[in-house]
A and B are shown apart, each in its own frame.
Chain A
Amino acid sequence: MLKNITLGQYFPGNSIIHRLDPRTKLILTLVYIVVLFMCTNPSGYVICLIVLCACIAVSQIKPKLILRGMKPLIIVIIITGLLNVFYTRGGTVLASFWVLTITVEGIRNAIFMTLRILMLVSGTFLMTYTTSPLALTDAMESLMNPLKKIKMPVHELSMMMSIALRFIPTLIEETDKIMSAQKARGADFDSGNILQKAKALLPLLIPLFISAFRRADELAVAMEARGYHGGEGRTKMKQLRYTASDAAAFVSGAAFTAAVIATRFLPV
């Protein structure tokens, strides 16, 4: 049952977007988010939307997958929309009842806000769908490297991240196994009130924690035996390298930013 959870939303592929350096994708996604919040008029949104759709098309990720990923966010998006409709003050009043007033500006804000969130989420999904979690970890380590100067444990953080990613499938499998074993002894994880349910989880959680600690212990010994001694003097087999397509991506990113900024000077 737990096997069905997909972790790390990566969908392997071989598109230009897949092959970009993960650092490029990380930076450009951040740029895209900032630009989204700089949009002040419809033409800005149109440009963002076109760029987003173009990227999705190039990535060969099925739009259905991105839409499916948004399902859990529907409620957040609806609430944000409604709040914008009702809480925008001033402007032309369309309708008014009790304490609620709907204005043209309100509707306009609501539409833009909803669009902004949808595009923001699609953009980040596109990045995680096309980049393996490990590559992302590498990218973060590399981009945060300057922070080592202010004593940030950058290497340790990224090592922890990648080990966590490595052990997630193992621990899920183990959870499944312990759950079955306790069910075979008559444990009931499904019925009862919240308190009873929480208590019923102890026979699952205690062995799981103990095993996680045992694994951590053994892994530490194995890493020590293989000469691990922290990030100092360490090399990496896979070096991140910017290529021509990364350069092209950065140029396109700059053009996109400039275009959106330019729309701010257009009359609304």
Chain B
Amino acid sequence: MDNILIKTENVTYTYEGEPALRGISLSFKHGEFAAILGHNGSGKSTFAKTLNALNIPGGGKVWVDGLDTSVEENIPKIRASVGMVFQNPDNQIVASIVEDDVAFGCENTGVDPAEIRGRVDDALEAVRMSAFKTHATHQLSGGQKQRVAIAGAIAARPKCIVLDESTAMLDPRGRAEVLEVAHRLNKEMGITIILITHHMREVIDADRVIVFTDGFVLADGTPQEVFVNTEILDEAGLGVPDTVRLCEELGLPLDALNIDDCAEQIIGAVNSGAMSVQSADEAEQPSDAVFDRYVLETTELKHLYSPDTPFETEALRGIDFKLPQGIFAGIIGHTGSGKSTFIQHLNGLLKPSSGRILLNAEDIWGGGKIMPGVRGKVGLVFQYPEYQLFEETCAKDIAFGPRNLKLSEAEIAERVTEAAKFVGLKPDLLDKSPFALSGGEKRRVAIAGVIAMRPDVLILDEPTAGLDPSGSEFILENLREYQLATGCTLVLVTHSMEEIAEYADIIYVFNDGNIEFSGAKETIFARSGRLREIGLDIPEVTQVILKLRELGLPVNPSVYTVKKAAEEIKRYVKC
């Protein structure tokens, strides 16, 4: 019993009249690394906030180190023992300078100035941010900001740190940074970590996984125990890791949570005779498709930020890009690779420093001025587009674009209905305020706002950022249907190799202001070595396949989805 740090007993909580937590009884041990998984709105964040008395349970009790959170006098002690890091890196940093922000918590509790100095230095060292001590906080990357926030929590000497979806808004690199720090603090300093997330991959190294759905605990156990129940997880809108899915397809035990385990599982099955090696057919060589009509082209496109100043940086270094008409294309690259700058050139939001952009073979800056109507023809959906909503009703907001195109009212109304249908928005939501909708619905309204302009090319920058797996899938499936139904050209910009692998036909890989390579996705994933070198992941199943090759199974490395991988493996072995 002494080993229990946090204990909750039958906790309930009501949020704006809706029950968000329906009786949660859990306990967390000292030094434990626990992950809480759940879809958007499952109550996981509401629960997290009860752990340091930001939310006081409506019913039931929470004890932190034996202190009841509903007792006012306990609160300062409880907040000192349970540090919290939130989702949005920008909205939790108080100070303009890194070290001042880390000191904030200690200053609040009245720690002696000399002592704060030491604690701040130690905390920054623990998250490997000492080199940035006197840097301005707003210039850091997302992952660095979250590490500063974690340092701020550590400086207060907590027993537990709750990471409340702290990785949701980060790119893969930032996510890896934060997770590495969390695991190290857990191992080296014995701090209890409660990691709240909807990313499957992040929880497989945890000691314990707790699955939330609709305010209940659906499952609680080691990752191996939890992920075996694929049906339950599907039901909770979470899905399971691709490695588990692959084992499921092959009829193997489901406890392979990482690449190595999965590959060994398959090889083990082969060797034990559960699967037998069949004569392999000659693997088909991937080839590049040939296209004859390009809707968008750029030649030698360069862009300089802050030209003629000491801050001059070359964001694009002469990009030659050809986008075939009527295709689902993917652009992938890590943050800073120039992809966001690039897409803003395609609809003329940014003017190239040199080079040309051709839309249907016509230079969009041909007359020195931007070609009229180009923004209607090339639709661009920015990251987190829901932050641009402003009208009283969803319908009016979707109508903003068409209205700027000076269309007739009848035409506008028709387009609004059509666009809403494409993104899967229920008609009764159209008359509601966009601000009354859920996060996923807001995002769909924003995407509909661009679709309603009926662009020839629709470009989406990270349309699934921050959404849970089922929300992401819903949006991507709708986009695929939209693309097939209208025959327009669609460009998906993303960090996620799995998304690209599933949806895109051809892929452009951006690196350091250039297109590193491009082509049909089979040809791209075959170059896994180079992809890794430039900091991009390759799909999990492709990694398994590569591991199998290493272990001596001559499978074709250019597969990228669970189904294809299973088929490929079955070509060699009999299940």
Could you tell me which A residues sit within 8 Å of B by CB distance?
Answer: 3-4, 133-134, 162-163, 165-166, 169-170, 173-174, 177-178, 180-188, 202-203, 206-207, 210-211, 214-215, 218-219, 221-229, 233-239
B366-394 contact mask (Cβ, 8 Å, vs A): 1 or 0: 00000000011001111001011110000
With A and B bound together, what is the CA distance between A64 and B381 in angstroms?
43
Residues 241-273 of B at the A interface (beta carbon under 8 Å): none
Contacts of B344 in A (CB 8 A): 180
Tell whether B138 is near chain A: CB-to-CB under 8 Å. Answer: yes
Task: From known contacts A187-B404, A219-B91, infer whether A236 and B390 are also in contact, taking CB-CB under 8 Å.
Answer: no
* Nearest CB in chain A: distance from B214 CB, A: 24
Is there an interface contact between B453 and A186, defined as CB atoms closer than 8 Å? Answer: yes
Contact check: which of B94, B109, B138 meets A223 at CB < 8 Å?
A: B94
A185 touches B54 (CB 8 A): no
- B343-366, CB < 8 A from A: 344, 347, 349
With the chains together, A234 CA to B108 CA distance in Å? Answer: 5
User: Across the interface, which residues of A come within 8 angstroms of B96, CB to CB?
Assistant: 133-134, 162, 165-166
A-B contact pairs, 24 of them (CB 8 A): A134-B96, A166-B95, A169-B138, A177-B387, A182-B388, A182-B400, A184-B382, A185-B400, A185-B401, A186-B375, A187-B404, A224-B54, A225-B52, A225-B54, A225-B79, A226-B104, A227-B76, A228-B108, A234-B107, A235-B106, A235-B113, A236-B113, A237-B99, A238-B103
B residues near A (Cβ < 8 Å) are 52, 54, 76, 79-80, 83-84, 86, 88, 90-97, 99-100, 103-113, 116-117, 120, 136-138, 152-153, 156, 306, 344, 347, 349, 375-376, 379-382, 385, 387-390, 400-401, 404-405, 435, 449-450, 453
Bound-state CA distance A228–B344 (Å) is 41
* CA distance in complex: A75, B464 (Å): 52
B382–A186 CB distance below 8 A: no
With known contacts A203-B390, A210-B435, A239–B113 Cβ distance under 8 A: yes
The distance from the CB of A206 to the nearest CB of chain B, in whole angstroms, is: 4
A-B pairs with beta carbons under 8 A, tally? 151
The smallest C-beta distance from B111 to any residue of chain A, in angstroms, reads 6
CB contact under 8 A between A206 and B79, given known A134-B100, A169-B138, A228-B108: no
Alpha-carbon distance between A180 and B100 when the two chains are bound, in angstroms: 33
**In the complex, residue of chain A having the shortest beta-carbon distance to the beta carbon of B153:** A226
Closest A residue to B305 by beta carbon equals A3
Contact B389 A235 (CB under 8 A): no
> How far does the Cβ of B148 sit from chain A's closest Cβ, in whole Å?
12
Which of A207, A227, A233, A237 has a CB less than 8 Å from the CB of B113?
A237
- B88 pairs with A237, CB closer than 8 A: no
Select B79's contact among A162, A215, A227, beta carbons within 8 Å.
Answer: A227
Contact A186 B376 (CB under 8 A): yes
Which residues of B are found within 8 Å of A178, using beta-carbon distances? 387-388
Report whether A237 and B117 are in contact in the complex, using a CB–CB cutoff of 8 Å. Answer: yes
B347 touches A207 (CB 8 A): no
Check A203 against B400 for contact (C-beta < 8 Å).
Answer: yes
The reply to whether A225 and B84 form a contact with Cβ atoms under 8 Å apart is: yes
How many whole Å from A187's CB to the nearest CB in chain B? Answer: 6
**Interchain CB contact (< 8 A) of B86 among A181, A183, A222:** A222
In the bound complex, do residue B116 and residue A235 qualify as a contact, i.e. CB atoms below 8 Å apart?
yes
- Could you tell me if B349 and A183 are in contact, using CB atoms closer than 8 angstroms? yes
In the assembled complex, the CB of A136 is this many whole angstroms from the nearest CB of chain B, namely 12
Closest 7 pairs (CB-CB, A-B):
A186-B404, A222-B92, A206-B390, A218-B91, A237-B103, A185-B401, A226-B105
Minimum distance in angstroms from A234 CB to a CB of chain B: 6
Query: Are A218 and B54 in contact, with the CB atoms below 8 A?
Result: no
Q: In the complex, what residues of B have CB within 8 A of residue A229's CB?
A: 76, 108
- Tell me the smallest distance from the CB of A192 to a CB of chain B, in Å: 13
- Give me 5 other A-B pairs in contact (C-beta within 8 A), A173-B138, A185-B401 excluded: A165-B96, A221-B86, A223-B104, A236-B107, A237-B117
- Return the chain B residue nearest A183 by Cβ: B349
Whole-angstrom CA separation of A239 from B52 in the bound complex: 30
Question: B355 to nearest A CB, angstroms?
Answer: 20
B86 and A237 contacting across the interface, CB-CB below 8 Å: no
Check A207–B116 contact: CB distance below 8 A. no
Q: Which residues of B contact A166 (CB under 8 A)?
A: 93-96, 137-138
Whether A218 pairs with B92 at a CB distance below 8 angstroms is yes
Query: Which residues of chain B are near A214, meaning CB under 8 Å?
Result: 91
Chain B proximity of A231: nearest CB distance (Å): 10
- Tell me which residues across on chain B come within 8 A of A223, comparing CB atoms: 94, 104
Complexed CA–CA distance, A211 and B84 (Å): 22
Taking the closest CB of chain A, its distance from the CB of B466, in whole angstroms, is 14
Q: Is the CB of A227 within 8 A of B80?
A: yes
User: When chains A and B are docked, how far (Å) is the Cα of A162 from the Cα of B104?
Assistant: 12
Which residue of B has the minimal Cβ distance to A218? B91
What CA separation (Å) do A236 and B114 show in the bound complex?
A: 9
